[in-house]
Structure 1
Amino acid sequence: MNNVSVDLLQLEGLKVSPAASLPAFVLLLLIYVFIMVSNLGLVLLISTERSLHQPMYLLFCNMSINDAFGASVVVPRLLSDVFLPGSDRYISYVDCVVQAFCAHFHASTAHTVLMIMAFDRYVAICDPLRYAAIMTNTMLVSLSVSAWTVPLLLVGVLLGLSVRLSRCRRIIFNPFCDNASLFKLSCESVLINHIYGLGYTVVLLGSSLGSVTLTYLRIAMVCLSSRNQALSRRALQTCASHLAVYIIMFVSGSIIIVLHRFPHLSDHRKLASIMLHVVPPAMNAVIYGLQIKAVREKISLLFTKRNHRPLS
């Protein structure tokens, strides 16, 4: 079928009543500001604080940057459209493809970044004597580059398969553009898209869940068999933060996949898709930020100065 006038697409956006538009805008804006300030603030702190120039914190910068990126992909567009009626929310096809690519790239990179962070903890706890020799600057760069390159290639193919299709529809039934929304614009067969999408999901989630599970089972065994209980407790405390971040991210993504199987819960799935780009980025900064001693000290100093501020 020949393309209709679909260079300009209609985007469903955030479904809220006119009365709820202002509260939704304020809430989303506050969450977005918190995500950007907390995550970019942590990156700045780790970059400037020499005591934090350790592999664990330097690898964590990948997560903070990805979280700020992921929130910026979705939230600003939702904010700009929240006061518009659904019939007036438009996005160009090119912008839609870019947003879909960035959304999937963010979600995929979250998995690969957590995988390299799990590897770092594994080496630090299970092979501490060789940690400095293994986690060199070259290794840190290699791990970081691989964490961003692998999702780039996987998502590039995913979106490429959708872009190749002709289009006969122009409505995106989703709060923001994603791959499924793009190939649903076509009247052609999308079997290849479904096959690759399923394979992509299985490989990414399978490798992520498998590597993190095996890594932390091994870490738990080493800590439980260690005679230095104080050191084991500190190691487990550090790993608990990483696991909490991973569980939040994995559950958020899994909810969307499960809800795809229930068409009558489409509104719940759409809300969950927004939460994937909002909840993990906000929680990651809190969980990891409070674990870093330098962050706790600066927060404590900030509140101490406020409490001792002289009355005018």
Structure 2
Amino acid sequence: MALARFRRDRGIDYWPGFVDALSTLLLGVIFLLTVFVVVQFFLSQDIASKDTALSRLNAQIAQLTDLLSLEKTGKISLEDEVAQLRASLAGVESERERLRGEVTANAKGDDGDARAKVGELTSALTSERNTVARALAQVEVLNQQIAALRRQLGALESALDVSEKREKDSQSRIADLGQRLNVALAQRVQELSRYRSDFFGRLREILANRADVRIVGDRFVFQSEVFFDAGQALLRPEGRGELDKLAAAIAELEKTIPREIPWVLRVDGHTDVRPIVTAAYPSNWELSAARAISVVQYLISKGISPQRLVAAGFGEFQPLDPDRTEEAFRRNRRIELKLTER
């Protein structure tokens, strides 16, 4: 009855439209991802080069600061020396004037000695003046060098400000691209959740009114007795009939979901805690894995793509009921189906 109703409901096929819409959406997402990766690569390279340039500029600024400090120290020393020379020059000029007065007062007698002394003082004064002139020239050169260093320092600081602004702009663009990528990924997750919801709805229709099938979270749980005899991994004829219904639903789902979405149907095998030791199955690990593989192989024989199926064996280590009763053992022997991402 449920299968017939399911087939009647499929009179109108909405899925091609959904496939086109989702394909367009996924192409847009892939484009955004590609753009984001490329932009992030170039921005990372740009930021790395900017960091190197900033380090080099900071080193140059430090060197120029040290050089400017040395130039200022030398300028101060020269200014002190100039001040001393000017004081010495003033003293020499004062002494010369005094001697001239003495020469005028003693025009006779000591005139020769005074003139000789005045000549010596004049020569010393000339030498002092030359020394002061050289010192002043050095001070002027230092002033020009300091001015040039200040201009260079200002240019470096301007370049540093520009680099820091570019780095901030790059970080802002990276943050914006990251936000866009998160939005695109969230939309993709929502689309996959929608398909998972559709898949659950179909399986509910197929498996309606069955006491041996339960829904636990995002999984369909079948009791092992639906598919297998005790201690065996060979599918029973009744179990194959149930898997035929599941295969039809999965085939429709496989046509609906675009190939770019990495979805898989995971088939998990579980046993109870009682050990099994046989030639075919030395432990519950082998039995649970063999049962999951049997289900997967049967679905493949019904046309389901192997790339969309996963078989996993959990042995007795993921029980639903921790009690050691027959009812707990029966609940823990199960096959679970879960639609998830690869």
| TM-score (norm: length of structure 2) | 0.25
Higher strand proportion (structure 1 or 2): 2
Greater fraction helix: 1
Which one has a bigger Cα radius of gyration? 2
Which structure has more relative contact order (CA 8 Å, sep 6+)? It is: 1
TM-score (norm 1): 0.27
